[in-house]
Amino acid sequence: MTGNATFRHENTALLAVTSVEAPVVVSSAEFDERLAPSLKRLRLSKRLLERVAGVTERRWWSPGTAFDDAAIEAGAKAMAEAGIEPGQVGLLINTSVTRRNLEPSVAVKIHHSLGLPSSAMNFDLANACLGFVNGMTLAANMIDSGQIKYALIVAGEDAQGTQEATFNRLNRPTSTREDFLSEFATLTLGSGAAAAVIGPADLHPGSHRILGGVSRAGTQHHELCVGGVDGMYTDTKGLLDGGLELVVDAWHEAQTDGWKWDSMDRYVTHQVSNSYTNAIIKAVNLVRERVPITFPRWGNVGPASLPMTLAQESQSLNAGDRVLCLGVGSGLNTSMMEIAW
């Protein structure tokens, strides 16, 4: 291998990670009812979302609540938990897939609403479901270099609009079984928000050290999952097969470079479905009991999925625990990051 696939951070720590759950619970049984005409016409059984994907429910925002408002709330919570004032933040990265317009960035509203200083750089980083981990890596590098002191990473997702459009499309009398299968993954999406504050470890004794990790690209698979405002189309089997190959390659490369991840205290993965999670566990021989599962009640919350799960797990982690964050994003890309809790 050439390039910079593995990396290490010298003086960076996770000071806080928070989440905001969307309040409206929408069950997969309700989705079945919305799609009942097509399911009957196409001779597809109900409860596919529960039986195949393992998603029992997901969440939508209340009317009047926007995804970026939720990201702002998560960011404010993270700064309060970290004990960091807005004026200390030197970098804001928004990693949301959801957006209402092409420009300006989603980050500018969040920057303004949180009262961050004019000196704080702010921008969107888009890399599908892997964006939040990428944002943490970029921020850690900038902290290590001395360019900034504190960074705020946020993500807010809203699946409702895309799913409503998908219902309309799949309920057309011309829709086919192939249409349903290609858009099935859209029905597993959920809404939520997350945020993290990252800063210099030497100024925060007892904080959670971000040690580094590995990143790998398999961009020959860039057409396997393509999403837009109105829908997402996925080659589910191709995505799983390509993602597994990429994860296994990255895992072994990291081991060769000195990382030892076969006995971590927690493996926090991007949350997708039963088949994805089971395949990852088997492919790199993870201890199943150390892999928290949140997709049955949240669905796949895009880049907010992994930090929301980490925020949940933070309540039960102890000082000295070793945590591996592991995600795959359509495109395909994978990244793994070790945190010493």
Active-site residue numbers?
Answer: 103, 129
Here the tokens at position 50 are 């529960």
- CA–CA distance, 1 with 159 (Å, rounded to integer): 38
SS3 content of the chain, % helix, strand, coil (to 5): 40, 25, 35
DSSP-assigned beta bridge partners for residue 325: 268, 337
Beta carbons of 225 and 260 less than 8 angstroms apart: no
Angle between helix 67-82 and helix 106-113 axes, rounded to 10 deg: 50
- CA–CA distance, 187 with 27 (Å, rounded to integer): 11
Q: Which residue has the tokens 């920057």?
A: 111
Here the tokens at position 225 are 């999952």
24 CB burial (10 A radius; 0-12, 13-18, 19+): middle
Long-range contacts of 125-128 (CB under 8 A, 24+ apart): 125/93, 125/94, 125/95, 126/95, 126/97, 127/95, 127/303, 127/329, 127/331, 127/333, 128/97, 128/225, 128/227, 128/302, 128/303, 128/329, 128/330, 128/331, 128/333
Q: C-alpha distances in angstroms, 309 versus 70, 88, 111, 224? A: 16, 27, 24, 25
DSSP-assigned beta bridge partners for residue 336: 214, 326
Indicate the DSSP class of residue 190: -
Residues 6+ apart with CB under 8 A from 186: 162, 163, 166, 227, 231, 232, 234
Indicate the helix (H) or strand (E) that contains 59. strand 57-60
